[in-house]
Amino acid sequence: MSAPATGAGATPGASPEPLKAGIGMREFIVLIAALTSIVAFSIDSMLPALPVIGDDFGLANQNDRQFVLIAFVLAFGPAQLIFGPIADRFGRKPILLGGLGFFVLASFGAAITESWWALLACRTAQGIGASAVRITTQAIVRDCFAGREMARVMSYVFTVFMLIPIVAPALGQAIVAVTDWHWLFAVLGLAGAALAAWAGMRMDETLPVSARRPLDARSIVAAFREILTNRIALGYTLAVTLFFGGLFSFIVSIQQIIEVVYGLGEWLAVIFAFSASAMAVASLGNASLVRQLGMRRISHGALISFTTLGALLLVLGLLTVPPFWLTIGLISLIMMSFGFVAGNFNALAMEPLGHVAGAASSVLGTISFTGGAVLGTLTGQAFNGTIVPLALAYFLFGAVGVAIVLITERGRLFAAQHDQDV
């Protein structure tokens, strides 16, 4: 059985301090959430600027402007395969700070470019830098916590993380309203530099030298083989991949749904914030409930909710153009279900793999984010002026997710596999 905390002297039921990181729990959660949220900020702040960027570069097909988002997320996923093993060999902190530095340079590059292809190249580079940040932050959490404590901390982190989608589109909308869209990238560069300074000055290395793994092909392949052959880890990784597909489908499609289907483009920031708030509320609720109910009971119930609501939205979309309030209400409930699933599925996938946390984080992150980005890209490119592609994506991803979890749990839902606590 995994210990509930890594800190010495932790008592049962107490909230362990992340002693390895050298800072208190509150600062740890806020710092990790801020570092993680650089991914959300890099995506969500772009949404109001997409029409302006498309017009500036003379893009004939309005779906092409989605590539400002797609270039970032497609680079973000595969790069994690590189940074995980490196973080296991050299420690978390140097890779974290190096990734932030690369992100800052790419952001300022995008801020001065006047070429469409150069912009996409800078967005690709941003995604690579952000992937190093994502890998190291997740490994840092796993270094410090395990089991339900890890799920609880990840839920708090995800709650703070979800505040960014609430404010990022509004900030992006404000910037493009008063100045050039290039300033969006300058703001991202400044934010990355500030986070690098905070983490560099305040947080300690969490991976001791004695726990580091050699950086050679044999050990890396062995770690990947262990991850990919672990039924629980692989099953929940595939399931969370589908849910990230739903999230990316929402992100890529929502601006066009609001503007084209309902003609409410000027309300994008407010509408997006409403849906993001639903995810944040769910994640905060999960942090409070996971100790009592366990990860499986909560996430499996949300999985069924996600699928059922997706089916309802699909039926309505096929029959008519639903009223705006009904469409956004159902989408928000679906994304609330995502909030109860993401952190738990991710923690369940990582739970058996604490001894290879860096490599595990990279492989699981690569599969889930790259797969989710591809699924979201397909959904976004299928936009046809209706809500049907998004609704179909929700339903299909949820239904396949149910099947994968049933196989992973050998036909059982809601019940812990053993008397540990998950």
Summarize pLDDT for 121-130 with one digit per residue, the tens: 999 999 999 9
The three-class DSSP label of residue 295 is helix
Residue 336 tokens read as 């609330």
Parent domain of 112: 19-201+216-408
Look at residue 14 and tell me if it is in a domain.
no
Residue 316 tokens read as 């309505």
pLDDT at res. 325: 94
- Backbone φ and ψ for 21, nearest 5 degrees, come out as -80, -15
Say if residues 32 and 140 touch (Cβ distance below 8 Å). Answer: yes
Say if residues 146 and 354 touch (Cβ distance below 8 Å). Answer: yes
Q: Write the single-letter amino acid at 103.
A: F
- Residue 252's nearest CA partner among 58, 63, 49 is 63
- Backbone φ and ψ for 27, nearest 5 degrees, come out as -65, -40
DSSP 327-354: HHHHHHHHHHHHHHHHHHHHHHHHGGGG
Structural domain count, the chain: 1
DSSP 147-163: HHHHHHHHHHHHHHHTH
Look at residue 367 and tell me if it is in a domain.
yes
Look at residue 145 and tell me if it is in a domain.
yes
Q: Low-confidence residues of the chain, pLDDT below 50?
A: 1-15, 418-422
Look at residue 9 and tell me if it is in a domain.
no
pLDDT at res. 417: 53
Residue 337 tokens read as 């279900």
pLDDT at res. 167: 82
Please list, in sequence order, all residues whose beta carbon lies within 8 angstroms of the beta carbon of residue 384, skipping any fewer than 6 positions away: none
Look at residue 10 and tell me if it is in a domain.
no
Look at residue 29 and tell me if it is in a domain.
yes
Evaluate the CA torsion angle 409, 411, 417, 422 in order and state its sign. positive
Kindly state the helix (H) or strand (E) to which residue 57 belongs, with its residue range.
none
pLDDT in tens, 231-286: 888 899 899 999 999 998 998 898 899 989 999 888 888 888 888 788 878 877 87
Terminal alpha carbon distance of the chain: 11
Q: What is the CATH number of the domain that holds 349?
A: 1.20.1250.20
Look at residue 395 and tell me if it is in a domain.
yes
Measured CA distances, 369 to 6, 124, 238 (Å)? 28, 14, 10
Please list, in sequence order, all residues whose beta carbon lies within 8 angstroms of the beta carbon of residue 149, skipping any fewer than 6 positions away: 4, 5, 16
Evaluate the CA torsion angle 264, 58, 122, 385 in order and state its sign. positive
Look at residue 6 and tell me if it is in a domain.
no
Token pair 């570092």 is found at 35
